[in-house]
Amino acid sequence: MKVVPKPSSEAVRVRMQRTAQRDTPPELALRSALHRLGLRFRVHVRPIRGLLRQADVAFPSARVAVFVDGCFWHGCPLHGTWPKANAEWWRAKIESNRARDADTDRRLKAAGWTVVRVWEHEDPEEAAKRVAGLVGSARDVPAPRRGSSRRSGARRNRRVSARKDR
């Protein structure tokens, strides 16, 4: 079990507890922008089996995984800060987040996925256009279905039809 230091103040403790892990405002803004562009996607998906990390937005048929990274938690080079209280612990935490992100990118790329990292400070409309371009390019090239964590549509449809016949 990880040893987490005591918060430097009650206000810090409350702020950290209220910080959402999913469906954050930057994620929601990006998803809305993608939807306005006519794209349909899945949210909080594990792109490959055995990988416990989830993509914030995924396009499984195009094999594009999108991660919306917070500037503080992922060490943004423009806006990331290093806390003064518990500085050593926070530096290790943020560096381990960066290492995990790099490992996730490497594993997904090795499995044939395109990985998109969007910083929380990026304009959601611009990020959505970037993602849409990659999804469109990926759909132009047939992707291998190996390693997919979902059943193929034809197989799933046969199962649904078989249930209806009962």
pTM for the full predicted model: 0.76
Residue 161 has pLDDT above 70, yes or no: no
| Helical spans, DSSP H, in 84-152 | 87-110, 124-140
What are the sequence ranges of the domains in the chain? 20-141
Summarize pLDDT for 50-100 with one digit per residue, the tens.
899 999 999 999 999 999 999 988 999 998 888 888 889 899 999 999 999
Q: Which fold does the domain 20-141 belong to in CATH?
A: Endonuclease; Chain A (3.40.960)
Three-class SS state of 124? helix
**8 Å CB contact between 63 and 113:** yes
Residue 155 has pLDDT above 60, yes or no: no
Task: Quote the CA–CA distance of 166 and 162 in Å, as a whole number.
Answer: 7
Residues 129, 131, 134, 139, Cα dihedral to 10°:
-100
**8 Å CB contact between 22 and 44:** yes
Residues 111, 101, 78, 66, Cα dihedral to 10°:
50
